[in-house]
Amino acid sequence: MVRRFGQKLKFNVLLILPLEVVINFLLIVPFVLAIYLSLTNWEPVLGPWYQAPIVGPQNYVDILLLPRFQGAIVNTLIIVGAAVSLEFLLGLFLALAFFSWDIRAKSVFTSIILVPMMIIPAISGFTFQTIFFTDGGAFNDVLSLVSGTTVRTDWLHIPATALIAVILADVWQWTPFMFLLLYAGMTALPSDPIRAARVLGASERQIFRRIMLPMLKPIITIALIIRALEAFKIFDVPFIMTAGGPGTTTETISIFLYKFGIEFSRIAYASAGAIFIFVIIVIVTLRASRSLLPKAGE
């Protein structure tokens, strides 16, 4: 029997081997190459990569000391923190409303809510750029209408407001994603504990806080991790809305790496930055997802 199991295992391994080879080749080779390149001073405009001298950790030291890179990290963290929090709160509110209230034509409204998510980020970036224009921008026009005075705020020229504009664009686009995950999670919750709590006289607030929220925790964690990872890579929207400006005050890590790696052909330098960020993301993600893993004894 053991022999038969061994043969079956071999056969299974044989079946999966070609795919594993391809995937690992596509995954591991570029990754190893990126690590190697990050230790050289290769720039394509200086010659082939295999002739580039090895400079050790110099690129890592240089990039970590570069104020522009530090600024890009801070900007990205602000966007991730603010945008994902807002998206979560709005998504949760919408999901709860759809779950709790008897809304007619629910499927139609659900589809409408999901529309922003389906729009190409570059298009939404351009749309929000025109919305936040000083002269003739819809946002200023609406504020003027509401306040009764002419509002001409330079949203995209002031670092703080430019960052807010980028965050709002991201919130508009990705709140539906949070809504979708949370709403799906709510509809999949077992109804018995909720009904039992109602029978025992629990208020809706208590039901939400004491029963639904704990049961939704894995979904919430997954939603936050996915959105945070995605938001960490944000590129299209700020690139089109502000091009990282004014100055470099809305430059995100992705814009920084694109500029240095692709536009300036400083691939080794950008690789060092990318690997540093990769390590940070892995650590944060592993830590955040720990709560999803079954604890010892469970």
Partner 1 sequence: MVNSDDRNEDDDEERLSILKRRITRREALSKVATTATVVGVAVVAGAGGVLAGQSLAPTKIETKTVTETATVAPTPLGATPAERAVNAVKQLRASGKIPEGTKMRWLLVAFAKNNILPTEGSERIGVQKAINMRKKWEDLTGIPLEIDTLNDLELYGKGIAEGITKAGTWDLMSQRIDFLYDFIGADAIIPLGAFEKKYQPELNTGPCPYYPVFEQSLRDPSGELWGFALCGDWFNYYNRRDIVTDPKIQDAFEKQFAYPLPVEGPALWSQVRDMAEFMDGYTGPQQALKDKANPPLRGGYFFRDTWFSNIEFYIRFYELGGLIFDKNKNVTIDSKAARTAIEDMKALVPFQSRDALTSSWPTMFPDYGGKKVFQTISWASLSQFQGNSPAAKDGGFGVYHIPGYVNPANGKLIRVTVLFDQTSYVVAKWGKTTQKVPELPYLLGQWLADPEIYTESLANPGSISDHARTCQAYDLRMIRTFTAVWPPNPDIEPGRRGAMEAFDITIPLSVQPLRLQGLKEIQDLFGTQMNAYFTDIQDLDTTVKNMQKGFETVVDRFGRDKQFERYQWIVNNFPAPLKELHGIK
Name the residues that contact partner 1, by CB under 8 A: 43-49, 129, 133-135, 137, 152, 154, 156-159, 241-249, 259, 262-266
Return d(Cα 181, Cα 230) in angstroms, integer.
15
- Give min distance, CB of 264 to partner 1, in A: 4
- Minimum CB distance to partner 1 smaller for 193 or for 245: 245
Considering only CA atoms, which of 257, 255, 258, 261 is closest in space to residue 243?
Answer: 255
Residue type, 116: P
Q: Which is nearer to partner 1, 221 or 265 (CB)?
A: 265
Nearer to partner 1, 227 or 266 (CB): 266
CB of 44 to partner 1, least distance (A): 5
- Write the DSSP string, 66-116: -HHHHHHHHHHHHHHHHHHHHHHHHHHHHHHHHHHS--TTHHHHHHHHHHH
CB of 182 or CB of 255, closer to partner 1: 255
Q: Residue 155 in 3-state DSSP?
A: coil
Q: In the complex, what is the shortest distance from the CB of residue 31 to partner 1, in angstroms, rounded to a whole number? A: 18
* Closest by CA position to 132, among listed 237, 232, 233, 230: 237
Q: What's the number of CA atoms in the CB half-sphere (13 Å) around residue 31? A: 9
Token duo for residue 178: 């949070």
Integer Cα distance of 219 and 227 in angstroms? 12
Spatial distance between the Cα atoms of 33 and 277, rounded to a whole number of angstroms = 16
Q: Residue 23 has which token pair?
A: 């995937």
Which residue lies nearer to partner 1 by CB, 159 or 193? Answer: 159
In whole angstroms, how close is the CB of 75 to partner 1 at the nearest point?
13
Rounded Cα distance between 186 and 211, Å, is 11
- The smaller minimum CB distance to partner 1, of residues 176 and 238, is found at 238
For residue 133, the minimal CB distance to partner 1 (Å) is 5
The CB-of-241 to partner 1 minimum distance in angstroms stands at 8
Q: Which one, 47 or 57, has the nearer CB to partner 1? A: 47
CA angle 255-260-263, nearest 5°?
Answer: 90
CB of 100 to partner 1, least distance (A): 42
DSSP track, 184-252: HHHHTS-HHHHHHHHHTT--HHHIIIIIIHHHHHHHHHHHHHHHHHHHHT--HHHHHHTTT-STTTT--
Q: How far is the CB of 189 from partner 1 (least distance, A)?
A: 46
Closer residue to partner 1 in complex, CB, 44/57: 44
